[in-house]
Chains A and B, each alone.
Chain A
């Protein structure tokens, strides 16, 4: 059942997504024995950047300027397709998962082209890595989705995800854990977190996503950072819907439970970042193929069970 009230879900996503980054930073600070920045620091950063002017490279064309709005629009629209437990998303139709994956692809294409627009060799390197890992990550996403569709039939994302946990049996639980594990690797890859990429490294030579946006400043950088927060929200929401038993709760309890789940995923990302070292770039394709294998195993489990 969709009503205007369902727009509350993306609205909450738009408001709360920077806080996820704040939680991750606090967890990392805790592990490092520091006090850490405030939870609201990402909001302060965004507002500070929005009030600044912009600096553009003379080498660039309109692509660099057009990319941030495209990227942010893609992410904002993707958040409207995410359900919270059995509370349906406001935008839901057959095949919306395909559009979701391709909107993420469009955002990536825009980021990569903007990076190449600057003519910087560092940004070219980042772009080259980004397209390589994305090409390997997409089959993994669709394999996971295949398992879910096999479980609950092909419909909109809300239907697929609510069909899932409604009868999470013994085999089903394992199934969802495997898919969630596979998608957690995607979350780390797509959001350039450790061990795939390090958002805080000082060495441009080794960056993936952060190096592509080196030449952005002011409102454009705010758009990019906000879009990154939304992207993290999208992947976290998928995982929360998979592994948290939201469906057994009454609808008014699902909202705080979902938010708690999001916070827990953020803590998990923070813990992973604190206890793992970065992988060598050559190892990342293996991790991604491993993530696809997890979904494939889930498929076999589904098939046997």
Chain B
């Protein structure tokens, strides 16, 4: 356990040295080496915890009331360490190349990146409520400073502000939750909190606070407003880390609090299922309507958090119905999707960053034809696109398969609850999968295929090795997890055992059918690869297999097709966007085409975030109106401020000494 904390220390140390070093290049390398050493050291206890050798928990006294410096690694913590340990070093390495051209001082971004990595690692190992909140806040603040790296742009400052407000609404809910959790206890240690008995009403209030608090970090729909603003604003390796890894600490927190609350009620499970379905479907629908590739990816994070939450909801329902298959496969699928999403989403953000780095563009409608110019970026982006759509043989399919099997297997009870759950999961996942495929056909197809739609895209070049290698490593991970699926299910078992509080043996038995199914999937996937290879070879062996003529795209007889005649991303997505128009509220502006020789016409679509526009903007505006009178107290006259302070002190003294206490 100490080794784990030493690892976190090394990451911070790397950041501190990077602050002191002069020169951009040594600073970048030192910070990265700090992350690599730190994650390397921390991975030793994590791997042993995933086996059967949980490291000894440590606990030191802390002068804060109710607090203690207590850390431990169980199956759940160790599993959530995996995405952090995998993505952080790769993103740091990617950052070395990505940040190279920047004229600004990199000290802040390097330092806070390392602090963010260390704080995420410590967060999942913390075993005390107060310490959890402190680490949570360090994580929020350090990521805030990473988001506002490019702070000379107004939209970046606005994104940072939105993120700061959103994360603190979450923290406020968590503060209330831990205060209620610890009411009547002398310590906020998780073991003490878990041992307390609670009424169901109390537990439900705590659960609701946890959903709001952790949901604002994870990006549940309506609480997700900061994601589509912050991810495009932050540097790409930071987006990758935040979207791939940091938002999962919200999922971790939710699961950890579930272990503290005692037996869950079915209502909690349904809440999670509904949150999951709405985040999943709305997330991908909004993604379809986006033009900015990083904003599109941010909405896909909302979608994937939805899939994860759907799995967790099935697991909670399994707990309350006493169905081991639902428990194992629901929680298992959800938790495994946490790792899978970390792998492919980081890879997608790396790819988007490489495209932006090489062309200076993020607007999909201005890109095109990049696969021929950036071969490795394109191929790895293709792998990640297939993985995020849940297509075999990649990793996304494995976790979605588990959730599907959970829904189907739950049917053997044939109660109304299981049937409704199965309808929700099956239609929901199928619809999400279909829409995600549409969205990534658009994202990959329009950015990497066809002809370049602008000169910037035409002049693109492949990125350097420090950016290329992390992408290739993650693409290999996508395929590896897909082909080692049965092992992955066993790997997630310790984490499920912690959440479900059950015996791992019984859980493994419940997963038996799914593991056999996944073995079949793996054999079929390997066959698929072999047959594809065989057919490629067969085509070459045909009598005229090597006879290839090159010509222009036929396009039904156009003599001089130009790149501007290509279908655009916006037109590609338009039918589906129109189908969801009541939810999306897409705005269209343009001039109509008139006459036989029409003058220059324009057309523009814009899909602002519905939750931001319709919920939070009016909400904050009315709060603003409500508190406007108080603003008169803030006038800049220092002597009156001093009077406020004196008055407050006198009031507090009275309160302290008064007999009413």
Contacts and interface: CB of A to CB of B under 8 A. Distances in A.
Interface of A: 50-63, 66, 68-70, 72-74, 76-77, 91-96, 98-99, 101-103, 105-106, 108-109, 112-113, 116-125, 127-129, 131-132, 134-139, 141-143, 145-146, 149-150, 153-154, 204, 214-215, 218-220, 223, 285, 292, 299, 303
B426 A139 contact: yes
A146 B426 contact: yes
Contacts, number: 258
Contact of B535 (A60, A105, A112, A223): A223
A98 B404 contact: yes
A52 B553 contact: no
B423 A56 contact: no
22 contacts: A52-B544, A58-B553, A59-B450, A59-B552, A63-B449, A77-B527, A94-B405, A94-B520, A95-B521, A96-B520, A106-B391, A109-B391, A113-B382, A116-B450, A120-B553, A124-B572, A131-B441, A132-B579, A141-B430, A142-B426, A146-B419, A219-B542
A119 B558 CA distance: 13
Interface string B417-435: 0010011001101110111
Interface stretch (B226-234, B407-415, B584-592, B600-608): B407-415
A139 B521 contact: no
Contacts of B201: none
Given A59-B553, A94-B513, A119-B449, 18 more contacts: A52-B544, A53-B549, A69-B532, A95-B514, A102-B390, A103-B392, A105-B391, A112-B437, A116-B450, A121-B567, A124-B567, A127-B441, A127-B572, A128-B571, A135-B435, A135-B438, A135-B576, A136-B431
Nearest to B529: A73
B539 A131 contact: no
Contacts of A118: 450, 553, 555
Contacts of B368: 119
B372 interface: yes
Interface string B516-554: 111111001001100111011001001111011111111
B401 A95 contact: yes
A50 B528 CA distance: 22
B315 interface: no
Given A103-B528, A112-B441, A120-B555, A93 B391 contact: no
Q: Most chain-A Cβ atoms within 10 A of its Cβ — which of B405, B516, B552, B567? A: B567
A99 to B, nearest CB: 5
Q: Most chain-A Cβ atoms within 10 A of its Cβ — which of B551, B556, B573? A: B556
A70 to B, nearest CB: 5
Contact of A128 (B430, B531, B566, B573): B573
Interface in B435-462: 435, 437-438, 440-441, 444-446, 448-451
B349 interface: no
Contacts of A70: 532
Given A58-B550, A95-B401, A220 B544 contact: no
Contacts of A66: 536
A44 B290 CA distance: 46
Q: What are the 8 tightest A-B residue pairs by CB atom distance, in nearest-first order?
A: A124-B567, A93-B520, A135-B434, A53-B547, A116-B445, A119-B450, A131-B438, A69-B535
Contacts of A54: 544, 547-549
B285 to A, nearest CB: 10
Given A109-B389, A125-B567, A142-B426, A59 B404 contact: no
A275 B42 CA distance: 69
A92 B519 CA distance: 11
A61 B450 CA distance: 8
B498 to A, nearest CB: 26
A136 B434 contact: yes
Interface in B121-159: none
B563 interface: yes
B311 interface: no
A54 B551 CA distance: 11
A220 B426 CA distance: 35
A132 B438 CA distance: 7
A141 B404 CA distance: 13
Interface residues on B, range: 35 or more
Contact of A51 (B405, B514, B533, B542): B542
A124 B450 CA distance: 10
Contact of A299 (B423, B533, B555): B423
Given A77-B527, A154-B412, A139 B553 contact: no
A95 B579 CA distance: 31
B576 A58 contact: no
A204 B567 CA distance: 14
Given A98-B401, A120-B566, A128-B567, A220 B539 contact: yes
Interface of B: 368-369, 371-372, 378, 382, 386, 389-392, 397, 401, 404-405, 408-409, 411-412, 414, 419, 422-423, 426-427, 429-431, 433-435, 437-438, 440-441, 444-446, 448-451, 513-514, 516-521, 524, 527-528, 531-533, 535-536, 539, 542-545, 547-556, 561, 563, 565-567, 571-576, 579
Contacts of B571: 124-125, 128
B576 A108 contact: no
A132 B576 contact: yes
Contacts of B519: 93
Contacts of A285: 579
A119 B441 CA distance: 13
Given A99-B392, A285-B579, A214 B554 contact: yes
Given A56-B549, A77-B528, A215 B554 contact: yes
A41 to B, nearest CB: 21
A125 B567 CA distance: 7
A56 B441 contact: no
Contacts of B575: 128-129, 132
A61 B548 contact: no
A116 B446 contact: yes
B430 A116 contact: no
B419 A223 contact: no
Nearest to B567: A124
Contacts of A119: 368-369, 449-451, 553, 561, 563, 566
Given A135-B438, A220-B539, A303-B419, A99 B524 contact: yes
B409 A154 contact: yes
Nearest to A211: B556
Contacts of A122: 555-556
Contact of A113 (B449, B517, B547, B551): B449
Contacts of A50: 542
Given A61-B371, A95-B517, A153-B412, A106 B392 contact: yes
A186 B420 CA distance: 23
Q: Most chain-A Cβ atoms within 10 A of its Cβ — which of B429, B440, B521? A: B521
Nearest to A218: B544
Contacts of B556: 120, 122, 204, 214
B555 A121 contact: yes
A117 to B, nearest CB: 4
B517 A94 contact: yes
A74 B556 CA distance: 29
A148 to B, nearest CB: 10
Nearest to A137: B434
B166 to A, nearest CB: 30
Contacts of A117: 445, 449-450
A280 B547 CA distance: 41
Contacts of B551: 55-58
Q: Most chain-A Cβ atoms within 10 A of its Cβ — which of B390, B392, B445? A: B445
B573 to A, nearest CB: 7
B543 A51 contact: yes
A138 B566 contact: no
A35 to B, nearest CB: 31
Contacts of A52: 544
Contacts of B516: 93-94
B566 A124 contact: yes
Contacts of B449: 61, 63, 113, 116-117, 119
Nearest to B564: A121
